[in-house]
Amino acid sequence: MPPTDPNYEARVRASFAKQQFMATLGASMTTVQPGEVSIELPFRADLTQQHGFLHAGVVTSIIDSACGYAALTLMPPDRAVLSVEFKVNLIAPAQGATFQARGRVVRAGRTLTVCTGDLRVVGSESVVAMMQATMMAVDGRSDRRD
Amino acid sequence: MPPTDPNYEARVRASFAKQQFMATLGASMTTVQPGEVSIELPFRADLTQQHGFLHAGVVTSIIDSACGYAALTLMPPDRAVLSVEFKVNLIAPAQGATFQARGRVVRAGRTLTVCTGDLRVVGSESVVAMMQATMMAVDGRSDRRD
Amino acid sequence: MPPTDPNYEARVRASFAKQQFMATLGASMTTVQPGEVSIELPFRADLTQQHGFLHAGVVTSIIDSACGYAALTLMPPDRAVLSVEFKVNLIAPAQGATFQARGRVVRAGRTLTVCTGDLRVVGSESVVAMMQATMMAVDGRSDRRD
Amino acid sequence: MPPTDPNYEARVRASFAKQQFMATLGASMTTVQPGEVSIELPFRADLTQQHGFLHAGVVTSIIDSACGYAALTLMPPDRAVLSVEFKVNLIAPAQGATFQARGRVVRAGRTLTVCTGDLRVVGSESVVAMMQATMMAVDGRSDRRD
């Protein structure tokens, strides 16, 4: 899937930098390739649920951003991306030093893009969580979802 | 659905207080009733995505906690709750002063509990996001999912 | 939610009649109201899974059609409806004489419509399955999803 | 993932043969390997939706059976499998001569198994639909979900 915007990486990284919540979590964007984006997050105690693991919402947050930006890499320059919906399976407790979320485009349509994503502990191959998501290309100047 | 643990409310509120991530978000638990829990979250700029709305992961976080604790209200005292999976539709931009997430049990089984949840802006009836989730009762002394 | 097509009911019933698979299942459309559609299905042994209950795919089929046509009731006359995605929780064994699937629009957008649906045994209030779905309005003369 | 039941293939094929709905659809089980099952379905006009493509419920039916039986390959001999929930993205119109559904285990737990599945047109690599599913091991002599 070739990107239609040659400047896709700078555009994606600039948009990520505007997601204040990613800074709040301490997440950073690592890989940005056509149709694929990775985000890393070091463990912090203030991101945990009642058993001391990463909260499912934190897990979701960084996989969602990885999927959304994977979709954006393939969108034309005048488009913005919004999450339409996602489904997450929490497969193993999110415990570890650093987490890596990966988002990957399965099919990029004109309006809708379908992505899969997952979360792993860096240094391990076992999957902590899996996402299947739908992203939407919207007018880049608009704040409307639809 | 009558709770099997007469002390359910105190147990739910104590567990919520251990979710450090809820404090990080500034979320507070409001209603706790058998099979139903509400969580409120005031808007904060450091919780936003690139367009200035609440990040989908924040939206998910508080609906997930509301659903999980709605499930816990109906579990026996020696059980803990874990999220198995959830699906979220993001229906409208999450903009407003204060958000309310509600979780409600549809069916409480011995092992699995199915919940629905949503997020609304306080003072409005329109739905920002909807969740359909599966929660699991686990041994309260164990950290294992399964 | 007022329908934009005054002829919505005839249009929906005509489209349902073209779903040959509904005839194969023996399903019939009952209620058609703005934003809400019901489909009934009598039990048949040749629709079962290995334990003698209705197969999850049959359950899904009629809730999906109910949700899709609920969405179509609110679309303009020149639009057709396609299922983008759905999520189903199977809550109780699908056993009974007649099943009723209901689809209901939660939010109708210009392009995307979010629906919820469920399946019950006729004469019972307990839920057999629940769906949360996204439907899409497409050009009525086109066969393209996007 | 080694199967705990050396007789897993015969057990899976025998259970599939009891799914009367698969015969109704004309579906046949092809590959059965530890953690992976494939099901094929020739196109038939009586399985279509209003535009002449395979109905989303048919698509779902065979991916669900493929995922469920992929999970069963890894379960002990005294266990039966039930679908807890699944999420399906319909990515492209289901048009073609023969369809292949594949189910694959991502993580097999004692109670819950997480699977991914997809549907392709035989002879094509493009994905028609994707599933993310949760399966449950239940007492093989019981008809209760939970």
Q: What is the pLDDT of residue B123?
A: 94
Predicted local distance difference test score (pLDDT) of residue C2: 82
- pLDDT of residue B66 exceeding 90: yes
- Mean residue pLDDT of chain B comes to 95
Residue C141 pLDDT more than 90? no
CATH number for the domain spanning A120: value is: 3.10.129.10
Question: Which chains sit next to A, with 3 or more Cβ pairs under 8 A?
Answer: B, C, D
Residue B50 maps to a domain: yes
Residue B106 sits at the chain C interface (C-beta within 8 Å)? yes
With 70 as the cut, is the pLDDT of residue C39 above it?
yes
Residues of chain C found within 8 Å of residue B89, distances taken between Cβ atoms: 106, 114, 132, 134
D48 touches chain C (CB under 8 A): yes
pLDDT given at position D1? 72
Determine, yes or no, domain membership for C104: yes
Judge whether D144 lies within some domain: no
Q: Is A84 on the interface with B (CB under 8 A)?
A: yes
Phi, psi of A100 (to 5 degrees): -125, 125
List Cβ<8 Å contacts ≥24 apart for B26-29: B27/B61, B27/B62, B27/B65, B29/B69
Residue B115 lies inside a defined structural domain of this protein: yes
Query: What SS3 class is residue D110?
Result: coil
DSSP character for B45?
G
pLDDT digits (tens, 9 = 90+) for B84-103: 999 999 999 999 999 999 99
| Partner-chain residue, chosen from D50, D58, D90, that has the shortest CB–CB distance to C84 | D90
pLDDT band at C24 (very low <50, low <70, confident <90, very high): very high
Predicted pLDDT of residue A125: 87
Strands of the C36-42 sheet, one edge to the other? C28-33, C36-42, C98-108, C112-121, C127-139, C79-90, D79-90, D127-139, D112-121, D98-108, D36-42, D28-33
Alpha-carbon torsion, ordered B83, B60, A128, C56, to 10 deg: 60
Rounded to a whole number of angstroms, the distance from the CA of C123 to the nearest CA of chain B is: 18
Chain D contact set for C75 (CB, 8 A)? none
Confidence at residue D146, expressed as pLDDT on a 0 to 100 scale = 42
Residue C26 belongs to what domain range? 8-139
Strand A112-121 relative to strand D112-121, pairing: unpaired
The pLDDT of residue D134: 98
| Cα(A84)–Cα(A133) distance, integer angstroms | 8
Profile chain D (146 residues) by mean pLDDT over runs of 10 residues.
Answer: 91 98 98 98 98 97 98 96 98 97 97 98 95 95 50
Residue A3 lies in a domain: no
Residue C2 lies in a domain: no
Q: For residue B1, is it within any domain?
A: no
Q: What is the pLDDT of residues C66-90, one digit of tens each?
A: 999 999 999 999 999 999 999 999 9
Does residue B142 carry a pLDDT above 60? no
Which chain C residues are Cβ-neighbours of B91 within 8 angstroms? Answer: 106-107, 114
Total number of domains constituting chain C? 1
User: Would you state the structure tokens that stand for residue D98, as one six-digit string?
Assistant: 């023969």
With an 8 Å Cβ cutoff, are B110 and D146 in contact? Answer: yes
Q: Is residue C146 part of a domain?
A: no
pLDDT at A142: 55
Tell me what pLDDT residue A144 has: 46
Could you tell me if B112 lies within 8 Å of chain D, comparing CB atoms? yes
The mean pLDDT of chain D is: 95
